[in-house]
Amino acid sequence: MREGVQPGAGAVLVDKPEGPTSHDLVRLARKAFGTRRIGHTGTLDPFASGLMILCVGWATRLAEYLTGLDKVYRAVIRLGVVTDTADRTGAVIRSDEGWRDLTRAELEDALRSQLGEIDQVPPAYSAKKVGGVRAYDRARRGEEVALEAVRVRVDRIDILALELPEVVVEVACSSGTYIRSLARDIGERLGVGAHLTALRRTKVGSFDVARAIPADRLDDPEAVRGAWLTPLEAVAHLPRVSVGAREAAALSHGVRVPAPEGAPRGVPLALAHNGRLLAVGRVEGDMIQAGKVFAVD
């Protein structure tokens, strides 16, 4: 990693602008930090903006514990126009002026229909694979794309502003939820169709975009420090078990250690020593087994 930017391993909160792909952002970070060992923990469509968490150095091994965190989005839904991508980048395939007769009560009912655990069909233009090929590649070739529904969870959809045919909403949902599909399905429920005109991710787990660094400041050491997470901070959502020097040495060599009373079972544990992340492990029987041990800098 380039000297003076951010030494060691950890994660950085980045505010992705509209336009670049998620991998474009990774390339930018690799150049700024002077290392190829950088990975993201969940993509955003090019037209979308907002919070992305980039893992750096050996902390890339933590990505699997971050990708499944819940998300919060701010979205603008345009009623009455359907596009083939379910967002503003696609071609218009249907228009309907029926939105002019909609009431707020009808809109709220359509939003409620998407709450809870639902079976959601991803957009045809998505990164889901069909027969080993990305769905958007098949769609761009003009092929018929039939994607299976995926179980997702939508905790809330709050109306922030309403000026038909546009409605601005905030959505809190599980990882894997497509906000484009929500817009599409809300439009279908109302009988007029819909697509997204804007999408911004504002939270990932407990991490807020307000703390994130703009992508064009990744080469600014002071800005990076303000958006930096230590490995232990990055997995703060995992139950933490602190261990002493003897246990730390044993775990580092793959040796199991007794689990403290009350240690959660059946979930990954952040195993810490001297305030730093040593490993991620689980309770097996009455012992803790480290699944991933990290070379702490």
pLDDT digits (tens, 9 = 90+) for 189-246: 999 999 999 999 999 999 999 999 999 999 999 999 999 999 999 999 999 999 999 9
CATH of region 10-68+206-231, choose from 3.20.20.140, 3.10.20.90, 3.30.2350.10, 3.30.470.10: 3.30.2350.10
**What pLDDT does residue 156 have?**
98
45 assigned to active site: yes
Of the candidates 45, 70, 216, 297, the residue annotated as catalytic is 45
Residue range 240-292, CATH number: 2.30.130.10
**What pLDDT does residue 262 have?**
87
Residue 240: name the closest of 209, 208, 273 by CA.
273
The share of the chain scoring above pLDDT 90, in percent, equals 82
DSSP state at residue 73: E
Which residue is it, tokens 């139950």?
A: 239
**What pLDDT does residue 130 have?**
47
- Give residue-wise pLDDT tens across range 114-166: 999 999 998 876 555 545 545 455 445 455 566 788 999 999 999 999 999 99
**What pLDDT does residue 117 have?**
98
| Interatomic CA distance for residues 168 and 107, integer angstroms | 12
| 50 beta partners | 16, 201
CA distances in angstroms from 224 to 44, 92, 95, 174, listed in the order given:
21, 41, 45, 28
Fold (CATH) for 71-200: Pseudouridine synthase (3.30.2350)
